[in-house]
Chain A
């Protein structure tokens, strides 16, 4: 490898410059405030976790994990998501059986990139986990909270697609009979390969009615009526259970007043095995990739020896930044340029302004060589130079 230039960074790592930092902080804080208002409590977990525990339990593919070794030779991972660490924490400490736990986070996660630019390897997620409540009310709450928080930050054009993995599995099992065949077919949906899905269905020796039921699954998209169409396709108890859950969810979301942003899509499969019930993805205009996602993961806590239902969402702040192009005007920045004899006067002035919430830079004149360029960076400049009382005009 050629010697690195001093400015180089590892693939996918990004700096955050002052103006982006400010905008990001506003987004983060607005979302956090809304999440706290819904009674969720924020926590932090370590950046490093064991590969064997959190790494293996997370929904992120193995090749996307950053791995390193500790002194004892254990493999560690940079946390690839926040759900698995929170499941670890809840299972081992915080969760009391029968008492739903509402936790939230705003944290950076790490995912190794092999491919190309346009994809950061470290990015911030804001999200919540509702642990211990297995009812549809928890799913509805999590989805509504996400929508509410996104509206609070000023996102206008976005859509939440909702699916149900239990429905898909019930339909597949009913028709195909065994897990292996179910998994093969599910993989086509996971890979978004509808052409392959149709070809595979047609290649199976099934009655034309069953073939048609499988093909119909791809059309179960739309509003509330898509749930009714889903009901017509299913014939098993598990299928009806999923449909009734979706109906409850929809009714709840209606009460929350958020169904305008929602589309049902039963062909949606965000992960091969992670989710156990309702799952959802959120998309926004101007961003080519997923803005956030979530769903019910009732089996994750079991991996930490504590079984409990759970659901949550996470939103990517980097993509939210892209979606919200319009930034609020930054706060006014003032600079006070002073000479030594008037330092205490300058400091008193700065203190006053700072107490009023202004952003004030206090700069000794001797420290600046290019005064024109320097002062051009500020909205307001005050000069306190020479003998006291001889105030120069401020501009």
Chain B
């Protein structure tokens, strides 16, 4: 039995679609269920549904063997897990944004974000000293209300930024979902995991070539 940690929300349906394409026979009601733990005995799989930010934590501690986590989570959490495959789904990127023509505070420029580690590493690499304010969501509010001049957040279509009158200032890094594996499971359950990796990479390659056509 392989335990798969899945991210709830935006990535979930794309991830399920990918597994189905890879030939895993998953029940149709998987997406509507409110259960947090769902067994699929025919496929020898158990799914656990976690907050996207927590997927890597479950996998690192070994309570899930494998998981699907965004690159943003991997960068922010720096968990000791194998990052085996780029699933190429849920594409977006991390960016710095702010109000147009806003002045950055001279002494203590402030940055609000859900990703304090990524933000602080990024600004340090830019040679800029900033103060990070950690928020848990609706980060776009921060510059509007004057909590911070800039934000670091995920951008997928740019609509949220636009509707709140914010502009993208710098792009930090591209983000896609990754297939991650616990180091112990990678060795002890290598048969089932290698097979899953194999099947998933076939789907990704096929998708990759069809996208280009």
Contact B81 A161 (CB under 8 A): no
For window 195-237 of chain A, which residues contact chain B by CB distance below 8 Å?
A: 195-196, 199, 221
A283 to B178, CA, bound (A): 24
* Interface stretch of the complex, out of B10-18, B147-155, B182-190: B182-190
* Interface stretch of the complex, out of A286-294, A328-336, A367-375: A286-294
Contact A288 B60 (CB under 8 A): yes
**A-B contact list, 30 entries, CB within 8 Å:** A118-B61, A157-B188, A159-B188, A192-B81, A192-B82, A192-B183, A193-B83, A194-B84, A195-B83, A195-B86, A195-B178, A196-B83, A199-B86, A263-B187, A263-B190, A281-B183, A281-B187, A283-B184, A283-B188, A284-B184, A284-B188, A285-B188, A287-B184, A288-B60, A288-B62, A288-B63, A288-B184, A289-B62, A290-B183, A290-B184
Per-residue CB proximity of B58-98 to A under 8 Å, as 1/0?
Answer: 00111100000000000000001111111000000000000
Main secondary structure of the interface of B (DSSP, over half): mixed
A263 to B183, CA, bound (A): 14
What is the minimal beta-carbon distance from A61 to any residue of chain B, in angstroms? Answer: 12
A195 to B178, CA, bound (A): 8
Contact A288 B85 (CB under 8 A): no
Given contacts A194-B85, A288-B61, 16 further A-B contacts (CB under 8 A): A159-B188, A161-B187, A192-B80, A192-B82, A193-B83, A195-B86, A199-B86, A283-B183, A283-B184, A283-B188, A284-B184, A285-B188, A287-B62, A287-B184, A288-B182, A290-B184
What is the minimal beta-carbon distance from A285 to any residue of chain B, in angstroms? Answer: 6
Q: A281: which B residues are within 8 A, CB to CB?
A: 183, 187
Residues of B participating in the A interface, judged by any CB pair closer than 8 Å: 60-63, 80-86, 178, 182-184, 187-188, 190
Contact B184 A289 (CB under 8 A): yes
Contact A194 B187 (CB under 8 A): no
Of chain A, the residue at the smallest CB distance from B82 is A192
Contact B83 A192 (CB under 8 A): yes
What is the minimal beta-carbon distance from B29 to any residue of chain A, in angstroms? Answer: 30
A161 to B81, CA, bound (A): 16
Q: B82: which A residues are within 8 A, CB to CB?
A: 192, 194
What is the minimal beta-carbon distance from B170 to any residue of chain A, in angstroms? Answer: 21
Known: A195-B178, A288-B63, A288-B182. A283 touches B84 (CB 8 A): no
What is the minimal beta-carbon distance from B37 to any residue of chain A, in angstroms? Answer: 17
A289 to B183, CA, bound (A): 7
Of chain A, the residue at the smallest CB distance from B63 is A288
Of chain B, the residue at the smallest CB distance from A285 is B188
Interface centre among A159, A263, A283, by most B CB within 10 Å? A283
Q: B83: which A residues are within 8 A, CB to CB?
A: 192-196
Interface centre among A118, A193, A199, A288, by most B CB within 10 Å? A288
Q: A221: which B residues are within 8 A, CB to CB?
A: 190
A198 to B182, CA, bound (A): 19
A194 to B190, CA, bound (A): 16
What is the minimal beta-carbon distance from B179 to any residue of chain A, in angstroms? Answer: 9
A62 to B188, CA, bound (A): 31
Q: A159: which B residues are within 8 A, CB to CB?
A: 187-188
What is the minimal beta-carbon distance from A330 to any residue of chain B, in angstroms? Answer: 28
For window 153-210 of chain A, which residues contact chain B by CB distance below 8 Å?
A: 157, 159, 161, 192-196, 199
Of chain B, the residue at the smallest CB distance from A218 is B84
Of chain B, the residue at the smallest CB distance from A263 is B187
Interface centre among B62, B82, B178, B188, by most A CB within 10 Å? B188
A289 to B81, CA, bound (A): 10
Q: B62: which A residues are within 8 A, CB to CB?
A: 287-289
